[in-house]
Amino acid sequence: MLNVSEIYFGYEQEQVLEDISFTLQAGEHLAVMGESGCGKSTLLKILYGMLPFERGSIHWKDQAIKGPAFQLLPGAPFLKYLAQDFDLMPFISVEENIGKYLSVNYPEDTARRIDELLHTMELTEYRDKKVKYLSGGQQQRVALARVLAQKPELLLLDEPFGHIDHFRRNQLRRSLFAYLKKEGISCICATHDYHDVLPYADSIMVLKDRQVLDLRPVREIYEQPGNLYTASLLGEANLIPINILKSYASTTRNIVVYAHELKVSDKSGLEVVAAHSYYLGGYYRVYGTFDGNRGVYFNSDKPVESGKKVFLNVSLNTINKRMPI
C-alpha cells in the first residue's frame, strides 16, 4: 500500500503542492486530474524520488520514499515511472530496448515476456527496428513496454497516451490497463483526458490551487461532481440554477448538469436560444444562451438553427443527485 501524508512542495517562492495526503491499495488505479500547471507531473516526480518535498512522508508498504538528497538515483525496484520524455536507447532495436533490464540467465522466459509485451503494445512488426526510426507514438509504446518488462509493484504514468495516434489509443488503453489489473500492478496516472479515466481508474484525485479538491471513486465523483471544475474535467458540463430548471423549486442554488443530461423539447422547460451547433458524429453539441446571456451546452440528434428557441429538461433523478447537501 502507498501512504502519502501531508506533502508540501514549492519552487523558490512559488508553492506548487500543499498538504497532499492519500492512500493507494495494492492493485488500485488512481487517476490524477487537473488543469495544466496544477501539479500532476510534479506529484509523480515527488513520488518517484526525483524532487525533494519540504514536509510530510511517503511510504510504499514499510519502505520510505525519499527525495534526491537521500539517494543518488530516483526510484526503487518496486517503483517505475514513465515520463513524457521516454529515455530510450535510439541506436538499438525495439526488442533490445524492451529486454534491456530482463535477465539473461533465463533466455526462454525473457523471450516469452518480450513477445507478450510486443503484442500488448502492438509493436510486434517493429521488433527489429531501431528506435530512432520510430515515430513519437511508437516510441511511447516502446517506453511503456520497457517499463512493464521490469514488473513494478507501483507504476507512475504521466500522460501515457499523449503521443499516440487517436485511432490507436482506445485499443492501447484497453490493453495496458487490463494488463496492469491482471498483473496486480498499482498505478497512478496523471492525465487530462477523461477517456483514460472513466472506464479504467478506480478513483480520481482532482488537484486545484495546490491542493486536493476531491478524491473519490470514479463513478461517485462523476455522478456527484460537487463543482463545475471537477465536472468539466470529465465532460462538457454546465452550472444552472435549480429554480430555472424546475420553476416550482424554492432554491436558487446552482447544480452541475452534463450536456448529455439536457433533453430537448419543443414545448416546456428551460428556454434556450441556440447559437452554434457542432457536429460530433452521432450527435450535435449545441451552444445556446438563457436568462439573458448565460451560456449552456447540450446535445441534440440534429443541428439547431441559430436563433431558434428550444426548451431543455433535466430528469428529477439527476437533480436529486446534484442537490447540495
Looking at the chain, list the stretches that DSSP marks H as alpha helix, in order from N- to C-terminal side. 40-48, 94-99, 107-120, 136-149, 166-183, 218-223, 228-233, 242-245, 316-322
Point out the least confidently predicted range of 99-103, 124-128, 160-164, 184-188. 99-103
In the predicted structure, residue 324 carries a pLDDT above the cut 70: no
Name the nearest CA neighbour of 70 among 43, 44, 51, 45: 51
Give the per-residue pLDDT at 313.
92
Task: Output the CA torsion 113→119→125→129 (10° steps).
Answer: -40
CA 136 to each of CA 98, 145, 234, 288: distance values in angstroms, whole numbers, following the listed order: 16, 14, 26, 39
pLDDT above 90 coverage of the chain, percent: 60
Domains annotated for the chain, with CATH where assigned, are 2-230 (3.40.50.300), 236-322 (2.40.50.140)
CA 93 to each of CA 90, 111, 267, 299: distance values in angstroms, whole numbers, following the listed order: 8, 14, 64, 47
pTM for this predicted structure: 0.89
Give the per-residue pLDDT at 259.
96
Please write the tens of the pLDDT for every residue from 57-100: 999 998 888 878 777 677 788 899 987 777 788 899 999 999 88
What SS3 class is residue 166? helix
Q: Which three cell numbers stand for residue 187?
A: 498505478
Give the per-residue pLDDT at 140.
87
CA distance 81 to 259: 36
Point out the least confidently predicted range of 67-76, 120-129, 134-143. 67-76
Please write the tens of the pLDDT for every residue from 37-65: 899 999 999 999 999 888 899 999 988 88
Q: How many CB atoms lie within 10 A of CB 185?
A: 20
Give the per-residue pLDDT at 249.
63
Taking only Cα atoms into account, the Rg of the chain, rounded to an integer number of angstroms, comes to 23
